[in-house]
Amino acid sequence: MPALLFSASVRFRGTVFLNALTNNGPNLVFFSLMIEEKVLVQKFLNRKGRERLKKPDWLKIKLGDPTNQNKVLNLIDGLNLHTVCQEAKCPNIFECWTDKTATFMLGGDTCTRHCGFCAVNKGKPMDLDPMEPTHVAEAVKHLELKHAVITSVNRDDLADGGSMHWAETILKVRELNPGCKVEVLIPDFNGDEDALNNVLNARPDVLNHNTETIARLYRRVRPDAKYDQTLELLERSARWRDTHQPEMKTKSGIMAGLGETFEEVVDLMRDLRSVSCDIMTIGQYLQPYEKRLPVERYVTPEEFAEWKRIGLEMGFKHVESSPLTRSSYHAREQAA
Residue 92 has a pLDDT of: 86
User: Please, how many CA atoms are within 13 Å of residue 222, restricted to the half-sphere of its CB?
Assistant: 21
Q: How far apart are CA 320 and CA 323, in angstroms?
A: 10
As averages over each run of 10 residues, the pLDDT of the chain (336 residues) reads 37 34 35 33 42 84 86 93 86 88 91 83 92 97 94 94 98 97 97 98 98 95 94 98 98 97 98 98 89 91 98 98 92 85
User: Please, how many CA atoms are within 13 Å of residue 183, restricted to the half-sphere of its CB?
Assistant: 27
Please count the structural domains in the chain. Answer: 1
Say if residues 17 and 70 touch (Cβ distance below 8 Å).
Answer: no
Say if residues 115 and 222 touch (Cβ distance below 8 Å).
Answer: yes
Q: In 3D, which of 139, 90, 146, 156 has the Cα closest to residue 118? A: 90
Q: What is the CATH number of the domain that holds 161?
A: 3.20.20.70
Residue 51 has a pLDDT of: 65
Which alpha helices (DSSP H) does the chain contain, by range? 66-78, 84-87, 93-98, 132-143, 163-176, 193-200, 218-221, 227-244, 262-274, 301-314, 331-335
User: Please, how many CA atoms are within 13 Å of residue 2, restricted to the half-sphere of its CB?
Assistant: 6
Domain with 173 in it? 5-335
Distances (CA, A) of 256 to 1, 98, 199, 296, 299: 34, 26, 28, 9, 7
Residue 49 has a pLDDT of: 52
Residue 186 has a pLDDT of: 98
| pTM of the model as a whole | 0.84
**107 φ/ψ sector (left φ>0, alpha ψ -120 to 50, else beta):** left
Q: What is the CA radius of gyration of the chain?
A: 19
